[in-house]
A = this chain, B = another copy of it.
Amino acid sequence: MTEITPLLPGTRIGILGGGQLGRMLSLAASQLGMRTHIFCPDENSPAFEVTPHKTVAGYEDVAALRAFASAVDVVTYEFENVPLATAKVIAENVPLHPGPKALEVSQDRLAEKGFLTRAGIAVASYRAVNSRADLDAAIAEIGLPAVLKTTRLGYDGKGQRTIRTPEDAEAAFAALSGVDLVLEGFIAFQKEISVIVVRGADGVVVTYDPAENVHKDHILKTSTLPASISGRAADKARGIAGQIAAELGYVGTMGVEFFLVADGDEPEILVNEIAPRVHNSGHWTQAVCVTDQFENHIRAILGWPLGSTIRLADVVMENLIGEEINATAGRSVTGVQPHVYGKTEARPGRKMGHLNIVKVPKP
């Protein structure tokens, strides 16, 4: 345990990225008496509505990054695809949490799987694919079905193709080639679960209860607590998430997504993906935890002790995608806590808000 001097209220926190995660991080920071400054290229960023301090500039604009860094006391980010060069410019001028290592690992599927494998953590079988011949060889080794993915910049199902028969290989390769690819064995999982883990600047690690996630059109639709999994599976997932945060020397909140392949006395769990940031599947913590994932992220980067992750009630988080946002105001169901991101345009597939639907006890 390192001795840490916590940053005091009034600290200026810079946030790279002005989407809903940056917005909710800013709200959490304000609760703790901090001031926030949002850096985002998009002048209509939702996070710009919750602080008077902003920089509208590109992530490659070194002068703007330096000015931003000099205007704040500590910097964090809302998305894992912050360019490493950007992170470097920031880190040369002001503390950056989480550090560049988590970005390096999570920005590249091959680097991520290599890191996890070296740490003894199980992942789906995978092979790097740099050519059509590589793909055939990988299919021969891994078998079908399998999923061909770009190693970088994939999210919400973008940048991937499922290969079910050998005949699919050609089209999948044609659709994605030109960048580094990876073929991953298709996992016949029972459930998708995720764990939100937070590591403090002092090395203390806390985890929240695992969420059971359901995706629709490759976008997270619901996270349900408790997950209908065994206590052993939950403990194992929490343990792996904690191990990852520790191995990375991570500071802040991280989401770890898992495939539960088999439950029971010896549960089989594979890590699907890690996200070095607050995570959509942890939004339920806002409604039923004393300290939610956003506040705990801010606590971590300030060097504060972490808060309680105990869940006070059962809850379902439901994402509101595209036009679904428009019904929010009318919902009168007791126990629903809505979060609306303030995006101006409700485009199809766009995350516009979420509902935390809490099972409140009878009065």
Contact = CB atoms under 8 A, between A and B. Distances in A.
A37 to B, nearest CB: 11
A311 to B, nearest CB: 9
A339 B331 CA distance: 29
A332 B308 contact: no
Interface in A302-325: 302, 304-305, 307-308, 310, 312-313, 325
A290 B358 contact: yes
Interface in A325-363: 325-326, 328-332, 334-342, 344, 353, 356, 358, 360-361, 363
A27 interface: yes
Interface residues of A, number: 55
A190 to B, nearest CB: 25
A332 B305 contact: yes
A30 B35 contact: no
A342 B35 contact: yes
Q: How many copies does the complex hold?
A: 2
A42 interface: no
B9 A307 contact: no
Interface stretch (A46-54, A96-104, A141-149, A246-254): A46-54
A66 to B, nearest CB: 23
30 contacts: A7-B329, A8-B329, A9-B340, A9-B342, A27-B27, A27-B50, A30-B342, A31-B340, A32-B339, A32-B340, A33-B340, A33-B353, A49-B52, A51-B51, A51-B52, A52-B52, A288-B312, A290-B336, A290-B337, A290-B356, A295-B337, A302-B329, A305-B332, A307-B334, A307-B336, A307-B337, A308-B360, A310-B363, A312-B312, A312-B361
Given A27-B50, A35-B49, 15 more contacts: A8-B326, A8-B329, A9-B353, A30-B342, A32-B338, A33-B340, A33-B341, A34-B342, A49-B51, A51-B51, A51-B52, A305-B332, A307-B334, A308-B334, A312-B313
Q: Which 10 A-B pairs have the closest CB atoms?
A: A33-B340, A305-B332, A6-B329, A312-B312, A310-B360, A9-B340, A308-B335, A33-B342, A290-B358, A308-B334
Interface of A: 6-10, 23, 27, 30-35, 48-52, 54, 287-288, 290-291, 295, 302, 304-305, 307-308, 310, 312-313, 325-326, 328-332, 334-342, 344, 353, 356, 358, 360-361, 363
